[in-house]
């Protein structure tokens, strides 16, 4: 037998598989999906088996083929996964080994390493395994056993076991000397010791909304969506259904019902949720319907927890995988349905190699598995909307199923826009506008809850000189520095450097550019909102702050939400992280402190992102029986994204936005890829990026509708002392930029000290 092996050697050019002989003693263990040790150009190397064949590969004398040295792991993936990895490798111009690595067991790291050029190569294996617990139970003859009078410990152990079997560690924790008593009892045949796999990674929650009681009846919209999903499942071509449902319309219920159907046919389901909304609440809803058939995979789990969840899927013990984008690569056999919730989220794009988009990979996987792909969102991406309008994409059908209403008596909240320039003109210098203050008082006096969102992405919380307009930026990264009020520091969020600073009205304040003393805070932080809110509302209202600082610890996120849930009267203040997925029926007020900071980002998706964010956060209000209201504070009230939220009418935003996109030749009318080159030596970076642009222009000069822009310095022109330049590439929707760009990269070849990223369908353009 012969194995086709992809080597895990970090070189962009090695994207081919090599053939090895499988020695007779390894034939039973060497399967597709195993990690193996081989010899490659005179040294040891680690690789992945992607195929097995009976006949010697053509063109090479059988005696010349080297053997597989060792099989290092069990199989982690199958032939279908290999096919998907090949597709990703070509589509995203990424090394095949990077694509295969997505499939291997969590916690596994096998590599060959040597200290220096003269020391030997050594295999370094890191892997996470399963943990077995020792359990104790009474044997069938325990009844007849009477311990001796002075055997107090034995008696205590037996008493503890009468209500059922217990873990040895629990017995040890409660009874001194339990181990020796258990040993004696086991020798007498009174108790039995057995081992049981411990599954790490379960977190229970007290959140009331984590329960998903089955509704008595599905809404009309839900029934229609389910019918569309069933039709797509039946076709078995990988058809796509976009569930375009307003916030609170019951999309989760549609997913649950669709999964149930698939499970009845003995198949499994993959459910992708943005990392940030993969909370206990979301997981709880799936667990309350499917119990232990659910495995959860995300990056906040420890390696051990992730391994256990992953292994449950591999062993066929769990058939519903709920996870972040990487859950696409879980070892689920017989996939019957793939669901991507909040499909518009930019976190579905991976920002390191392979730079894939989960939506595209899922569409491909659905084709390979002959199942359906369901995309859900209240604010679908313009790309998905365009495909459903067209009806087909890449040979499969794309349909849109809309759900415009919330179930029962719940209605969409009333939205009010407050123009902050008018507030300022009228002498209100507070963070909170007049209408927001009165709405907050109103809500708390009725014992209701409120959510306040502070838009932190963009140019929030920096210092600006009111005289010359200068904003201090990091000399190493050219990004605006963030002001930290409590520590009197300016911080760069690209490289982490800090500088002490005094802001207005401190007498020692000095603008770094003109020396003025009016260097003052612009934008506010969550801490300041918290402080001012506490003054406004007094001590009887709980204020819970959720931001990067308060959610650092493990489980902190969940604890804060549970606190908010349990409080009789509370305000939750948070950054973007509170905009999504929260379902608290007693929230009646949502306030947005600063709606427009994201509108100012130099990115063609800025308006789309702002609209999505506002529509999502507005959707947190009025999900229960009481109607909700939303107050949006802004300095740019006339912007279509803001007006569309006001009217709950997406078209107000979509129509002008699509015109702009078409005119400027941006997605969804084109594919936009970004080639980024960075390094410490600015001249070398500029030279390389210029070469790349020249090669690329030569490559595409006779192709229709290809446009090469740049090279130009990136918006973040310098990060961690590395100069960054980029080239933007626009190509037709049906084109394959991955293959064109990798051809160019191969012509340039690797350059010492220069890094290059080929970002196909780029989302991060800064």
Binding site for Zn ion (CB under 5 A): 465, 467-468, 470, 474, 476-477, 492, 494-495, 511, 513-514, 516
Name beta bridge partners: 136: 166, 193
Q: Which of ligand ADP, Zn ion, none sits in contact with 492, Cβ below 5 to 8 A by type?
A: Zn ion
Exposure of 754 in the CB half-sphere (CA atoms within 13 A): 23
**Binding track over 220-239 against ligand ADP, x by CB under 6 A:** --x-----------------
Q: Using CB under 6 A, which of 15, 81, 252, 610 touches ligand ADP?
A: 252
Q: Using CB distances below 5 to 8 A depending on partner kind, what does residue 628 bind out of Zn ion, ligand ADP, none?
A: none
Q: 62 contacts which partner out of ligand ADP, Zn ion, none, CB within 5 to 8 A by kind?
A: none
3-class DSSP assignment, residue 671: strand
Interface positions, 265-304, toward ligand ADP (CB under 6 A): none
Instruction: Give the residue with the Cβ less far from ligand ADP, 222 or 731.
Output: 222
Nearest residue (CB) to ligand ADP, 251 versus 319:
251
Check residue 219 for interaction with ligand ADP (CB under 6 A).
yes
Q: How far is the CB of 550 from Zn ion (least distance, A)?
A: 24
Tokens of 634: 């802004």
CA distance 753 to 217: 62
Question: H/E/C letters for each residue in 485-524?
Answer: CCCCEEECCCCCCEEECCCCCCCCCCCCCCCCCCEEEECC
Three-state SS for 646? helix
d(CA 120, CA 114): 6
Number of residues counted as binding ligand ADP (CB under 6 A)? 17
Spatial contact of 616 and 247, defined as CB atoms under 8 Å apart: yes
Say how many residues make up the chain: 766
CB 455 within 8 A of CB 576: yes
Nearest to 695 by CA among 658, 633, 746, 621: 746
Max CA-CA distance within the chain?
A: 97
Dihedral over alpha carbons 438, 439, 443, 449 (to 10 degrees): -130
What token pair was written down for 637?
A: 């009230």
Q: Which is nearer to ligand ADP, 111 or 648 (CB)?
A: 648
| The one among 245, 331, 591, 679 contacting ligand ADP by CB under 6 A | 245
Nearer to ligand ADP, 305 or 586 (CB): 586
- Residue 297 tokens read as 């995979």
Output phi, psi for 733, to 5 deg: -55, -30
311 in Cβ contact with 104 (< 8 Å): no
Please say whether the beta carbons of 451 and 543 come within 8 A: no
- To the nearest whole angstrom, how small is the minimum distance from the Cβ of residue 591 to ligand ADP? 20
Please select the residue that binds ligand ADP; options are 57, 215, 304, 640, rule is CB under 6 A. 215
Pick one of 218, 503, 646, 709: the residue that binds ligand ADP (CB under 6 A). Answer: 218
Of 327, 320, 319, the closest CA to residue 301 belongs to: 327
Report the partner that residue 512 touches, choosing among Zn ion, ligand ADP, none (CB closer than 5 to 8 A by kind). none
Element (H, E) at 224: helix 220-235
Question: What DSSP string runs through 361-374?
Answer: HHHHHHHHHT-EEE
Q: Which is nearer to ligand ADP, 547 or 583 (CB)?
A: 583
Q: Is residue 512 near ligand ADP by the rule CB under 6 A? A: no
Tell me which of Zn ion, ligand ADP, none is bound by residue 248, counting a contact when its beta carbon lies within the kind-specific cut-off of 5 to 8 angstroms. ligand ADP
CA-to-CA dists, residue 575 to 1, 542, 559, angstroms = 57, 18, 17
Closest distance of CB 619 from ligand ADP, Å:
6
Which x/- pattern, by CB under 6 A, does the window 369-408 give for ligand ADP?
A: --------------------------------------xx
CA atoms of 336 and 484, how far apart (whole Å): 49
Nearer to ligand ADP, 623 or 639 (CB): 623
Which of Zn ion, ligand ADP, none does 253 bind, CB closer than 5 to 8 A by kind? ligand ADP
Rank residues 456 and 609 by Cβ distance to Zn ion and give the closer one. Answer: 456
CB of 482 to Zn ion, least distance (A): 11
Phi, psi of 494 (to 5 degrees): -90, -45
What are the strands, taking DSSP E only, across 587-740? 587-592, 629-634, 671-679, 707-719, 722-731
Buried b (16+ CB within 10 A) or exposed e, 89-108: bbbbbbbbbbbbbbbbbbbb
Minimum CB separation of residue 636 from Zn ion in Å reads 25
Q: How far is the CB of 685 from Zn ion (least distance, A)?
A: 17
94/254 with CB nearer ligand ADP: 254
Tokens describing residue 408: 């029962």
- 3-state DSSP assignment of residue 218: coil
Whichever of 611 and 678 has its CB closer to Zn ion, that residue is 678
**Which lies closer to ligand ADP via its Cβ, residue 244 or residue 530?**
244
Q: Least distance in Å: CB of 231 to ligand ADP?
A: 20
Q: Which does 583 bind (CB under 5 to 8 A by kind): Zn ion, ligand ADP, none?
A: ligand ADP
Binding partner of residue 516 among ligand ADP, Zn ion, none, CB cut-off 5 to 8 Å per kind: Zn ion
Q: Report the candidate in 335, 366, 327 with the shortest Cα–Cα distance to residue 265.
A: 335
Q: Which of 19, 308, 583, 596 binds ligand ADP (CB under 6 A)?
A: 583
Assign 131 to helix, strand or coil. Answer: strand
Q: Using CA atoms, how far apart are residues 346 and 348, in angstroms rounded to an integer?
A: 5
Q: Which is nearer to ligand ADP, 257 or 708 (CB)?
A: 257
Q: Which does 460 bind (CB under 5 to 8 A by kind): Zn ion, ligand ADP, none?
A: none
Closest approach of Cβ 696 to Zn ion, in Å? 30
Q: Which one of ligand ADP, Zn ion, none interacts with residue 247, CB within 5 to 8 A by kind?
A: ligand ADP
Binding mask 620-659 for ligand ADP (x = CB under 6 A): ---x------------------------------------
Cα separation, 68 vs 48, in Å, equals 11
Q: Which stretch binds ligand ADP (CB under 6 A): 161-169, 244-252, 434-442, 658-666?
A: 244-252
Among 250, 336, 354, 628, binds ligand ADP (CB under 6 A): 250
State in angstroms the smallest separation of the CB of 505 from Zn ion.
16
148 by DSSP, 3-state: which? coil
- Determine if 244 is a binding residue for ligand ADP (CB under 6 A): no
Which residue lies nearer to ligand ADP by CB, 235 or 260?
A: 260
From the CB of 209, what's the least distance to ligand ADP, in Å?
Answer: 6
Closest C-alpha among 297, 266, 262 to residue 283: 297
Q: Which does 124 bind (CB under 5 to 8 A by kind): ligand ADP, Zn ion, none?
A: none
412 binds, among ligand ADP, Zn ion, none (CB under 5 to 8 A by kind): none
- The one of Zn ion, ligand ADP, none whose footprint includes residue 35, by CB under 5 to 8 A per kind, is none
Using DSSP bridges, classify how beta strands 671-679 and 722-731 pair: parallel, antiparallel or unpaired.
Answer: antiparallel
Name which of 244 and 360 has its Cβ closer to ligand ADP.
244
Cα separation, 109 vs 124, whole angstroms: 8
Q: Which is nearer to ligand ADP, 281 or 674 (CB)?
A: 281
How would you class 72 by CB atoms within 10 Å of its CB: exposed for 0-12, middle for 13-18, buried for 19 or more? middle
Strand partners, 399: 241
* From ligand ADP, Zn ion, none, interface partner of 249 (C-beta below 5 to 8 A by class): ligand ADP
For the record, the structure tokens of 487 come out as 């520590």
Select the residue interacting with ligand ADP from 106, 147, 248, 738 (CB under 6 A).
248
Contacting residues toward ligand ADP, per CB under 6 A:
215, 217-219, 222, 245, 247-253, 407-408, 583, 623
């Amino acid at each position: 037998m012969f194995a086709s092996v992809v080597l895990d050697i970090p070189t962009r050019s090695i994207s081919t598989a090599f053939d090895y002989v499988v020695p007779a003693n390894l034939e039973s263990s060497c399967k597709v999906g195993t990690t193996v040790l081989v010899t490659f150009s005179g040294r040891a190397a680690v690789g992945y088996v992607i195929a097995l064949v009976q006949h010697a590969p053509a063109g090479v004398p059988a005696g010349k083929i080297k053997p597989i040295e060792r099989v290092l792991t069990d199989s982690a993936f199958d032939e279908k996964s290999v096919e998907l990895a090949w597709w990703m490798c070509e589509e995203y111009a990424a090394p095949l080994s990077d694509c295969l690595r997505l499939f291997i067991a969590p916690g596994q790291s096998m590599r060959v390493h040597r200290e220096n050029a003269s020391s030997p190569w050594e295999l370094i294996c890191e892997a996470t395994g399963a943990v077995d617990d020792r359990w104790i139970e009474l044997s069938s003859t325990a009844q007849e056993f009477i311990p001796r009078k002075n055997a107090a410990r034995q008696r205590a152990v037996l008493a503890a076991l009468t209500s059922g079997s217990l873990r040895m560690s629990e017995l040890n924790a409660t009874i001194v000397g339990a181990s020796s008593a258990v040993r004696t009892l086991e020798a007498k045949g009174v108790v039995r010791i057995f081992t049981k796999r411990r599954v790490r990674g379960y977190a229970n929650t007290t959140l009331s909304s984590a329960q998903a009681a089955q509704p008595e009846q599905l809404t009309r919209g839900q029934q229609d969506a389910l019918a569309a999903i069933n039709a797509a499942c039946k076709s078995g071509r990988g058809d796509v259904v976009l569930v375009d449902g307003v916030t609170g319309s019951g999309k989760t219920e549609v997913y649950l019902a669709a999964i149930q159907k698939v499970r009845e046919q003995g198949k499994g389901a993959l459910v992708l949720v943005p990392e940030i909304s993969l909370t206990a609440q979301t997981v709880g809803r799936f667990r309350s319907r499917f119990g232990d058939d659910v495995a959860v995979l995300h990056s906040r789990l420890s390696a051990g927890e992730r391994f256990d969840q992953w292994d449950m899927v591999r062993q066929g013990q769990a058939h519903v995988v709920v996870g972040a984008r990487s859950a696409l690569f879980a070892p689920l056999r017989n996939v019957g349905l793939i669901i991507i919730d909040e499909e518009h989220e930019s976190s579905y794009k991976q920002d390191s190699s392979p730079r894939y988009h989960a939506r595209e990979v899922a569409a491909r996987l659905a084709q390979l598995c002959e199942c359906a792909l369901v995309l859900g969102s209240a604010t679908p991406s313009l790309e998905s909307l365009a495909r459903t309008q067209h009806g087909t994409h890449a040979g499969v059908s794309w349909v849109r199923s809309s759900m415009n209403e919330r179930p029962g008596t719940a209605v969409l909240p009333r939205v009010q826009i407050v123009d902050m320039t008018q507030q300022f003109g009228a002498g209100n210098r507070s963070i909170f506008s007049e209408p927001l203050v009165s709405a907050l008082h109103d809500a708390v006096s009725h014992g209701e809850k409120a959510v306040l969102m502070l838009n932190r992405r963009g140019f929030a919380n920096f210092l600006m000189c009111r005289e010359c307009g200068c904003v201090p930026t990091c000399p190493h990264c050219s990004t605006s520095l963030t002001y930290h009020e409590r520590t009197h520091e300016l911080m760069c969020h690209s490289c982490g450097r800090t500088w002490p600073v005094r802001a207005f009205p401190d007498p020692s304040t000095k603008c770094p550019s003109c020396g003025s003393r009016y260097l003052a805070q612009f934008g506010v932080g969550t801490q300041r909102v918290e402080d001012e809110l506490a003054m406004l509302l007094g001590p009887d209202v709980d204020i819970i702050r959720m931001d990067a600082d308060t959610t650092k610890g493990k489980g902190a996120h969940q604890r804060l939400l549970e606190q908010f849930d349990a409080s009789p009267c509370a305000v939750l203040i948070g950054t973007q992280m509170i905009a999504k997925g929260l379902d608290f029926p007693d929230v009646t007020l949502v306030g947005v402190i600063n709606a427009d900071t994201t509108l100012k980002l130099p990115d063609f998706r800025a308006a789309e992102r702002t609209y999505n964010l506002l529509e999502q956060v507005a959707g947190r209000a009025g999900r229960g029986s009481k109607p909700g209201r939303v107050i949006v504070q802004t300095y740019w009230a006339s912007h279509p994204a803001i007006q569309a939220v006001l009217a709950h009418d997406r078209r107000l935003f979509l129509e002008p936005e699509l015109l702009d996109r078409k005119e400027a030749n941006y997605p969804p009318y084109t594919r936009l890829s970004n080639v980024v080159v960075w390094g410490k030596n600015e001249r070398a970076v500029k030279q390389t990026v210029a070469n790349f642009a020249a090669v690329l222009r030569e490559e595409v000069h006779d192709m229709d509708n290809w446009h090469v822009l740049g090279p130009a310095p990136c918006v973040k022109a310098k990060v961690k002392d590395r100069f960054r330049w980029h080239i933007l590439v626009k190509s037709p929707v049906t084109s394959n930029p991955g293959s064109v760009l990798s051809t160019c990269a191969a012509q340039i070849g690797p350059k010492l000290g220069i890094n290059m990223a080929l970002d196909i369908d780029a989302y991060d353009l800064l």
